[in-house]
């Protein structure tokens, strides 16, 4: 007696309709890569950073912080490392603060980067492509801050604080959250004040390793576009301070030095690791990252899933 074959379950009509759409989307990405609007998946990406969890009523966080890491399109390995470093810290700050991390660069020029960054945007929803030529000190920081209200604001304050950070800076989110919980919520200019190697004078500004503005100052940068125009070139940290100084803004200056510093070495802003560190800068290679993360016992809770010989 021959075994009877069970009839195959019918393919849902919806699946048959979605298949050609999926193939068309893949074809569009390959054939028309420049039409893939990264900003479209980013403007609403704040929802991807909602760390309040699933069901149940959650208490509102004390504050909301956007960390914009200024980087370059081709630095895939660095972004991957930073995603892990910040994601692992989120549970320790979720009850106090909402912290969203976005990776920011200007227009993607390379066809190869265009395809790979598009996939990255689809997978993570945390990259922001600005409408500017890629640069370090010729307007990129201004393009970032002036785009934040449009991308994330929606007519209201999406965040209490907005930070610009380098991609070679490691922030300890619990320590940063503790510090910000005591900071003013308006007219705030926060970071590591430099110069570090001589007595402070009138030319004081927050180091570009990572500085933070309150939301009202970000909105002011947008409103003061006519006054700032033509003044976006030069070292970006000093340039931003010049806007604040000319506009009489950023009077609530919070200098957290020595808790923010450069990797131990000979730089004027460097010193040995300290327990109450908020940020370490100048992590230019994996050796420095490993040494820094090891000092702060970043993997102390790791339980090996393989035999240790």
Ordered by where they begin, the domains of the chain are 63-296 (3.90.550.10)
Over the stretch 125-177, which tens digit does the pLDDT of each residue have? 999 999 999 998 889 999 999 999 999 987 788 999 999 999 999 999 999 99
pTM of this structure: 0.81
**pLDDT below 70 — which residues of the chain?**
1-59, 198-203, 306-309
* Residues ≥6 apart with Cβ < 8 Å to 170: 85, 279, 280, 283, 289, 292, 293
Q: What is the pLDDT of residue 186?
A: 97
Phi-psi region of 81 (alpha: psi -120 to 50; beta: other; left: phi over 0): alpha
For the record, the structure tokens of 277 come out as 């560190």
Q: Report the distance separating Cα 308 and Cα 18, nearest Å.
A: 48
Look at the block and give the residue holding tokens 């125009």: 229
Q: What is the pLDDT of residue 309?
A: 64
Q: Report the distance separating Cα 153 and Cα 10, nearest Å.
A: 46
Q: What is the pLDDT of residue 52?
A: 41
Q: What is the pLDDT of residue 32?
A: 36
């Amino acid at each position: 007696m021959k075994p009877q074959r069970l009839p195959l379950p019918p393919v849902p009509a919806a699946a048959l309709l979605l298949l050609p759409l999926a193939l068309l989307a893949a074809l569009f990405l390959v054939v028309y890569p420049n039409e893939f609007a990264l900003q479209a998946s980013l403007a609403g990406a704040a929802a991807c950073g909602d760390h309040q969890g699933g069901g149940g009523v959650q208490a509102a966080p004390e504050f909301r912080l956007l960390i914009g890491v200024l980087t370059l399109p081709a630095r895939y390995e660095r972004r991957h490392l930073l995603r892990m470093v910040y994601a692992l810290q989120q549970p320790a700050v979720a009850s106090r603060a909402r912290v969203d991390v976005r990776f920011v660069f200007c227009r993607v020029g390379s066809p190869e980067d265009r395809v790979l960054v598009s996939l990255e945007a689809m997978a993570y929803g945390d990259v922001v492509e600005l409408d500017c030529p890629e640069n370090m000190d010729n307007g990129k920081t201004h393009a970032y801050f002036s785009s934040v209200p449009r991308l994330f604001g929606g007519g209201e304050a999406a965040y209490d604080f907005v930070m610009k950070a380098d991609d070679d800076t490691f922030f300890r989110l619990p320590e940063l959250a503790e510090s910000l919980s005591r900071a003013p919520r308006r007219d705030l200019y926060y970071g590591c004040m430099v110069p570090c190697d001589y007595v402070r004078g009138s030319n004081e500004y927050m180091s570009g390793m990572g500085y933070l503005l309150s939301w009202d100052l970000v909105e002011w940068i947008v409103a003061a576009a006519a006054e700032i125009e033509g003044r976006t070139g030069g070292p970006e940290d000093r340039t931003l301070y010049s806007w604040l100084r000319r506009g009489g803004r950023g009077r609530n200056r919070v200098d957290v030095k020595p808790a923010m510093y450069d990797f131990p070495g000979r730089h004027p802003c460097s010193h040995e690791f300290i327990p109450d560190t908020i940020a370490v800068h100048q992590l230019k290679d994996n050796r420095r990252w490993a040494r820094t993360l090891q000092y702060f016992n970043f993997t102390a809770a790791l339980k090996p899933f393989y035999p240790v010989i």
